[in-house]
Copies of this chain bind each other. A is one copy, B any other.
Amino acid sequence: MSDLKGNCLVAQSGGPTAVINASVCGVIQEALAHREIEGIYGAYNGILGVLKEELLDLRAEDPEAVEMLKSTPSAALGSCRHKLKNLAESRRDYERVLEVFKAHNIRYFFYIGGNDSMDTAAKLKDLSAQLGYEMAVMGVPKTIDNDLAFTDHCPGYGSVAKYIAVSAMEAGRDTESLYTFDTCAVLETMGRNAGWITAAAALARRYEEDAPHLVYVPEVSFSREKFIEDVRAVHAKYGRCFIAASEGMRWDNGRYVTEDHSALAKDSFGHAQLGGVAQVLKHIIEKELGLKTRWMMQGLTQRNAMHFASRTDRDEAWLCGAEAVRQAVSGVSGFMVTLERAPHGPYRVQTGLAKLEDVANGEKKLPREWMNEQGNFPTAEFLDYARPLIEGEVELPMAGGLPMFMRFRKEWLVPKCQPYKVG
């Protein structure tokens, strides 16, 4: 056990997820159980809230509101994309953070986020050690992209996977029922650099005829000619073709499918492309195969779909937050909580730890061998990996046919530092 006593601060960073608030809930509910932790504070809009000294007293929140974090999507504390660089370049910001920490006697810092957040957390730990300010820094994993290294999977991924899968199932039935008319459809998913989300669409395919029939991810370079042949073959077999495609798909030359205007021009679209991957694929299919094609781009809804979140994901998000607190009060610092899957038998996870620096510098793409040889559908290995992550549903408090979400009151703690201009 650590003798470190003081206040704790929790913050959220980067793109939100359906279950990132469950991690905040885990931090708060666990922190309440440890006498080492006195004040429980939240930073508003991530590290920006620290810089601006916009801190909330979470101990003063209604316990019911805290419990509702488990069923409220997106970042209830607010998030940000403000990125602290290395200590040399962003030293002023790092020192400001420590100034605010000292002023509020923050001795435990829990940062919920992805690589960049772990990088910031690692540097804060280093600087506090250099300056002789004793504090524990712990990372809590969060990303829909599932691309963090050293953890079997990331909280946030299971829920987006489940939503994308059910969307493919449902929209796939539309294409099936109208297959005398609109016979092709493209579902575009998030995932700028990794194909985990897109691959999850494949969970929808219980029977061969089910959607999706083709799945394209950034890890396999995209060939226009091969794509046309893929669609032609599927359509010949089933009379329809349902495609899941990642927004991050790239041509052989490494450029994004959505960015390479010259390639589009060759397709004689002629003009600057305003749309996304789904629209590009639609135009290729319609031009080359003459098949009417519908497209969908669910955008922000997919990463916040609490109404169909994975119970497994939600519970693991809570667990990671709570475990970060348990580790910190037991004297651990400088680590991110990870999820480790039991190597055999039914799905079970236990938590582990990975160094913040290691997570910051790592990235986990969809392994190429988890896509089939043709690069147009995930393998059984991927499906076995992903299936347990979407298990279970979250019961939501409902009113009038819609869920109830919570909001924190936005009453800052009394500032103790001078105002700070964020650069």
Contact = CB atoms under 8 A, between A and B. Distances in A.
Interface of A: 12, 15-16, 18, 45, 48, 72-82, 162, 165-167, 169-171, 173-181, 185, 187, 203-204, 269-275, 279, 283, 294-301, 303-308, 310, 312, 387, 390-393, 398, 400-403, 405
A387 B400 contact: yes
A174 B303 contact: yes
A157 to B, nearest CB: 13
Q: What is the total number of copies of this protein in its complex?
A: 2
Nearest 5 Cβ contacts at the A-B interface: A271-B271, A296-B299, A74-B173, A75-B177, A390-B401
B173 A304 contact: yes
21 contacts: A15-B178, A72-B173, A73-B173, A76-B177, A78-B177, A80-B181, A162-B401, A162-B402, A165-B401, A167-B301, A170-B304, A170-B306, A171-B301, A270-B271, A274-B274, A274-B279, A275-B279, A296-B298, A296-B299, A298-B298, A387-B400
A175 B75 CA distance: 10
A375 to B, nearest CB: 25
A147 to B, nearest CB: 19
Given A45-B179, A170-B307, A312-B401, 8 more contacts: A18-B170, A74-B177, A78-B177, A81-B181, A82-B180, A294-B299, A390-B401, A393-B401
A259 B73 CA distance: 36
Contacts of A273: 274
A331 to B, nearest CB: 32
Q: Which of A18, A179, A187, A308 has the most CB of B within 10 A?
A: A308
Contacts of A275: 274-275, 279
A174 B304 contact: yes
Contacts of A279: 274-275
A82 B180 CA distance: 9
